[in-house]
Amino acid sequence: MAIFSVYVVNKAGGLIYQLDSYAPRAEAEKTFSYPLDLLLKLHDERVLVAFGQRDGIRVGHAVLAINGMDVNGRYTADGKEVLEYLGNPANYPVSIRFGRPRLTSNEKLMLASMFHSLFAIGSQLSPEQGSSGIEMLETDTFKLHCYQTLTEMPIRCELFDQNLKLALEVAEKAGTFGPGS
């Protein structure tokens, strides 16, 4: 059981605290010769695999590094455009590392806001008066638990961070949320 992230959202739907507490999922690295047998596309300022999954590389994975140098969005660490670099046969053979793209701060805000909207709709549509709304969403790959808080202001406290991380470690070791949570 792993706890991937913690989001604290206030009553108005604003994200007041967010913590990623997971190690990145398995990444795939492979050395390619020209021409590249994957179709890469630019999407939301990231270079993503659009077609040609194989060897642990999946559609939707982002290019994370080229020849050991990190990729930031559409650019390599030294400022070259990834698609332009990979389009040049002189740069081959090339080693590319792929993995799930990390969420941007803006995407985290949007997710928190969308979940709050679903929570509010669930509370209003419930036939029970005073329903607490969504308690858990379950898919085949994760469970999303929802706990209510009275906190309204952003949380900026080192002691809070330390205690939350300690609580997450204890919960993971104890398996508090059950298998697959």
Per-residue pLDDT tens for 47-85?
A: 999 998 888 888 989 999 999 888 888 898 888 999 999
- What is the share, in percent, of the chain residues with pLDDT greater than 70? 88
pLDDT at 96: 93
Whole-Å CA distances, 58 to 9, 49, 171: 32, 7, 31
Report residue 106's pLDDT band, with 50, 70 and 90 as the boundaries: confident
φ/ψ region of 164 (left if φ > 0, alpha if ψ in -120 to 50, else beta) reads alpha
Q: Which residue has the higher pLDDT, 130 or 6?
A: 6
* Mean of pLDDT over the chain: 82
Tell me: pLDDT of 3 over 80.
Answer: no
Report residue 181's pLDDT band, with 50, 70 and 90 as the boundaries: very low
For each of the domains in the chain, give its residue range(s) and CATH number, in order of start.
3-20+102-173 (3.30.450.70), 25-97 (2.30.42.40)
Tell me: pLDDT of 120 over 60.
Answer: yes
Beta bridge partners of 136: 145
Tell me: pLDDT of 180 over 50.
Answer: no
pLDDT (tens digit, 9 = 90+) per residue, 141-165?
778 877 766 666 667 778 888 888 8
Residue 181 to residue 172: CA distance in whole angstroms: 10
Average pLDDT over residues 100-106: 82
Nearest to 134 by CA among 116, 111, 152: 116
Q: How many CB atoms lie within 10 A of CB 97?
A: 20
